[in-house]
Chain A
């Protein structure tokens, strides 16, 4: 009974996760940027393996005792992924085209985008450096 409940729960969460990723279209975007559409199967496996190992590690009390410098590349990759998620979400909501049309600044759209990017970086840094300690 517990086995079945756990399996069903995992199935639902896994489906939701993959559906979310495919709606945002991050993987196609990365493939388009790097021109590696032929490796789509391997990318699928990267997502699956990542999700499964993340799930496993977060539930088991293992410590790796690795150097904390590993966090620099990990943090960077982590941030890029979340950044792409955020960018894709903004894009789904169609904010930019409408905004640009309304105030008539089609050519300055890169600067508006940089406002969001810088805002994200500053907000995040502020949060970790000061706000989280309050």
Chain B
């Protein structure tokens, strides 16, 4: 019988409160058929209310668990060294009122910001000069320049975030998606180190 066990922990999983987290759920295991069926149902962690939102399971606990079945097994960890378990106990519900308030905040805020910006850089005067430069005439409100400009303003932002034209151009992620991903990775890294009992000494443990 082949005694080598390869374990690849998942980066991040979601679990319900009071769920029993088995080896199968947090890791992909390559080993002898009989071994897998024996190990897969082993409980690595029982979620309790004191776990709050996140539990980090370190690879060392998994190795310990596997070797408690058969100490002669050679466990080879591959990939992430810990799994972040996100407990969905108080799943945030989507609040339409809150969302509407945020929407309004962003809408009014960005409208006033752009007006401030225009005043700040004396754009009206600049547009008048531009109009005079191109046509030789002087007018007070060069709206023929300013209305396309306003539409282009929105178009440029949409173009930058690449949401509307996503399907048309390519499947590359938009900067926003990359940004959210990076933020999530930073959070995960923080949790992985700070919630991990193996890497932080906790007095209350």
> Which A residues are within 8 Å of any B CB, using their own CB?
25-26, 29, 32-35, 57-58, 62-88, 91, 94, 96-101, 103-106, 108-113, 115-129, 131-133
> Do B102 and A99 touch (CB < 8 A)?
yes
> Knowing that A76-B151, A118-B154, A120-B111 are A-B contacts, what are 7 other residue pairs whose CB atoms are under 8 Å apart, sorted by A's residue number?
A29-B160, A66-B134, A68-B137, A74-B134, A88-B160, A129-B143, A133-B141
> Do A83 and B98 touch (CB < 8 A)?
no
A43 CA to B126 CA, complexed, in Å = 25
> Do A119 and B148 touch (CB < 8 A)?
no
A91 CA to B109 CA, complexed, in Å = 16
> Do A132 and B145 touch (CB < 8 A)?
no
> Do B106 and A80 touch (CB < 8 A)?
no
Q: CB-defined interface of B144-176 with A at 8 Å, one 1/0 digit per residue?
A: 111111111111111111110100011010011
> Do A132 and B163 touch (CB < 8 A)?
no
Count A-B pairs with CB separation below 8 Å.
218
List 10 A-B pairs, Cβ < 8 Å: A58-B129, A63-B133, A68-B131, A71-B144, A82-B152, A88-B160, A97-B176, A110-B163, A111-B99, A116-B107
A120 CA to B169 CA, complexed, in Å = 24
In chain B, positions 91-133 with a C-beta closer than 8 Å to chain A are 92, 94-95, 98-99, 102-104, 106-115, 117-118, 124, 129, 131-133
A85 CA to B4 CA, complexed, in Å = 55
> Do A68 and B134 touch (CB < 8 A)?
yes
User: Which applies to chain B's interface (DSSP): helix, strand, loop or mixed?
Assistant: helix
Most B C-beta atoms less than 10 A away, residue of A64, A82, A100, A129: A82
Chain B: how many interface residues by the 8 Å CB criterion?
A: 64
Most B C-beta atoms less than 10 A away, residue of A76, A99, A116, A123: A123
> Do B136 and A63 touch (CB < 8 A)?
yes
With contacts A80-B152, A117-B154 taken as known, whether A126 is within 8 angstroms of B111 at the C-beta atoms is yes
Q: How many Å from the CB of A104 to the closest CB on chain B?
A: 4
| Chain B residues, Cβ within 8 Å of A96 | 176, 179-180
Q: How many Å from the CB of B152 to the closest CB on chain A?
A: 2
> Do B143 and A128 touch (CB < 8 A)?
yes
The residue that A132 contacts in the complex, of B99, B117, B141, B187, with Cβ under 8 A, is B141
| Shortest 4 CB-CB contacts between residues of A and residues of B | A79-B152, A83-B156, A123-B111, A75-B148
